[in-house]
Every structure is written in structure tokens, then in C-alpha cells.
A = this chain, B = another copy of it.
Amino acid sequence: MASSISFTALPGVPEVRPGDDLAALVAAALDRAGLAPARRDVFVVAQKIVSKCQGRFVDLAEVTPSARARRLAAEVDKDPRLVEVILAESEEIVRSKPGVIVAAHRLGYVMANAGIDRSNLGPGGERVLLLPRDPDAAARELRDALESRYGTSLGVIVSDSFGRAWRNGVVGVALGVAGLPSLVDARGERDRDGRALEVTQIGFADAVAAGASLVMGEAGEGTPVVVARGLAWDAPEGDARALIRPREEDMFR
């Protein structure tokens, strides 16, 4: 167990454009800040810049809402074109009410608006941004590029902020993970004879994403990359898909 960890926002990451080399942008920012990665540093990267890099924009002016999208949009009081995009990104609408759509994204995440972001996408305001394609793969790609550049073992989390069913406020979570455990097994509850009844799992990568969010700022504006240093783990590496509760174990849909 680490006795001290730090989360440091990396200054100077520029506005990301489609096709940019994210590893090169991060490396340039590290250079300018005079920072060198250490073994097991974990880079927490806001999903928004990964999505921008992948060019995951949709122009609402080109979207024609279906009848289903128009009905749902009327119910929740949202732009029918935005709702069309949410439906296209989702497997299932889990709950809806005025102002709120909770969707199961095609990648499995249960989240508001299927993760579609329309804030701070530049002038015009008709563009929205989808989640990255395969955030675990994006995390691995960035991890591999940074590891080969720096010659040491590193981790990457592609992070987002999710609401919670029974708690107010959003918290950071991991959409993509490479180079660190996503879940860590811990000693669980014991029965009357002292035997372990079940293994408790710790949402390790989610906790790292949540801690990083404290220095990342609003939705990753300004400082979308945070370096977590000092983390210790014995558990095997895992991907963020392991953080998604399987549909058949879901008690809340």
C-alpha cells in the first residue's frame, strides 16, 4: 500500500484537434514543465481530448431526428437532434425524465446522455462530441507510446465524470485503463467461522480517476491531463471493461 500519492495537473496541453498525436502533445507538455515520468506514473486523460483527437464530432445540423427521438426529446425537454445522437450511441434508455436521460452506452457504461458532450466545443454550438471509440484501446495506445518514449512502465486512464444513482454530484471514473489494475481484490466479509464469504473488489482505477478529477478542473477544461504518482499495486493489470457490472448482475435496470 502506497503511503503517499500525488496528483499533478500537467500544464500546457494545447487544444486538441482531430488526428493529433496525443502522446507527442503530452510529451511536449512534460518537457515544457520540466517533468519526467517515473515508473508506474499513471496519466489520467480526460475522455474529451481523446474524443477530439479521434474526431468524434457530430454536427447536429446534419442530424434528422427519428419519431422515437422526437417523442423522447419532448418528454425530457432536450433538442430532438441531440436525443437522436444519444439513441444512436445507446443500447437502452435506462431512465428518463425532464432534463435527464440515463442511457446504457453501446460500450456498456450506464451514464447521463450516453456521454455526449456539447459544452465548450467552440463557436457555433451545433457540434457535439461522442465518447472515444474503444477507450481501453485508446488508453493502451497512449500507454504504449509513452512507455516506448520514456523507457519505463507507465499507466493510462481515460477518464470521465459520471453521476450516481443515489448521490448528488458527479465523480471521476475510468472509461479506459492500461498498465494498472482496474479492480483490486480485497479481503471480504467473513462468516461466523471466520471464513471469507466473498471477495470485495475495490474500484482502483475509478478511485484514481476520482482523485485526478480534483486537479483536472471542470470537465477537463484547461488541464485535461493529470499525473498520478506513488500508486502501489500487486494486483494484475486490467481494462476498464472489467469495471462495468454485467447486465445479468444489474439490479437497477
Contact = CB atoms under 8 A, between A and B. Distances in A.
B211 A207 contact: yes
Interface stretch (A22-30, A131-139, A212-220): A212-220
B252 A166 contact: yes
Interface stretch (A63-71, A147-155, A240-248): A240-248
A95 to B, nearest CB: 4
Interface in A222-253: 222-223, 231, 242-245, 250-252
A151 B115 CA distance: 44
Contacts of A125: 190, 192-194
A100 interface: yes
B202 A170 contact: yes
Nearest to A191: B79
Nearest to A200: B170
27 contacts: A3-B223, A5-B6, A6-B6, A95-B251, A110-B166, A119-B188, A165-B166, A165-B250, A165-B251, A166-B250, A166-B252, A167-B173, A167-B203, A169-B201, A169-B202, A169-B243, A171-B171, A171-B202, A171-B203, A171-B207, A172-B210, A186-B218, A200-B218, A200-B219, A204-B214, A211-B214, A214-B231
